[in-house]
A and B are shown apart, each in its own frame.
Chain A
């Protein structure tokens, strides 16, 4: 492309980009003007209610209808509250004990480390055969509803991701065995 045409085209493209930027700035400013720079200008009913309730608590208004949870603001959009620890009880597929869902992860850390051992080193972990992981995964998938079915992400990147906790398989032979028992 000849120099002059090149320059013309470049100039034209630049102006186009600049105009686009200018419009964006104007839009932002316009929006800010209309909303008064306040991102929460439109009144958020529930949010306001929660804030009002919290204010009441801090003032010491005992007459107000406050529940402990909404006080902390832990109400979800349906108005439901959730306990801090999930309380549903089910059976661990490895040791067959009744476990509270909220305590499942730490339980597994110990349980899968075989017996009472709390943790194992990651060195042994790495030695674990990928094949075993697969069987483990398949067994997980076969779990029926009474048991907690966990989302097992792809096993492609090592077993560190299993159950999203630091679950280590110390002695893989043992754990494979227990997996087979399922």
Chain B
């Protein structure tokens, strides 16, 4: 038998095994491509600063920094510390506004 006959299958065969992009991924791509993600991020940031949320988070960070020491505190620690606090202390109005905007986007993107 010729060596060429025993070649492994060409890559084409492998492609079919790759998963279809999930709905989540499609949405994400549309968000980014349209520039809406950036705008939403800006909006969220603005609202969170206005209502003092950012200052609150920075307060927690400072407290942790004092505890661990300026040179020793790690970014990881900070993130882990303020994430639960951050998530739970977002004002309802801010959340509602963002959700509303996201929903409009999803509907308008004909998803």
Contacts and interface: CB of A to CB of B under 8 A. Distances in A.
Contacts of B86: 18, 21-22, 25
Interface in B11-57: 23-24, 27-28, 31, 37, 40-41, 44-45, 48, 54, 57
How large, as a class, is the contact surface on chain B?
A: 35 or more
Contacts of B79: 22-23, 26
A26 B82 contact: yes
Contacts of A12: 24
B109 to A, nearest CB: 9
A26 B99 contact: no
A32 to B, nearest CB: 8
B75 A10 contact: no
Contact of B111 (A1, A19, A24, A25): A1
B27 A21 contact: no
Interface string B57-74: 110011001000011011
Interface of A: 1, 6-7, 9-15, 17-30, 33-34, 36
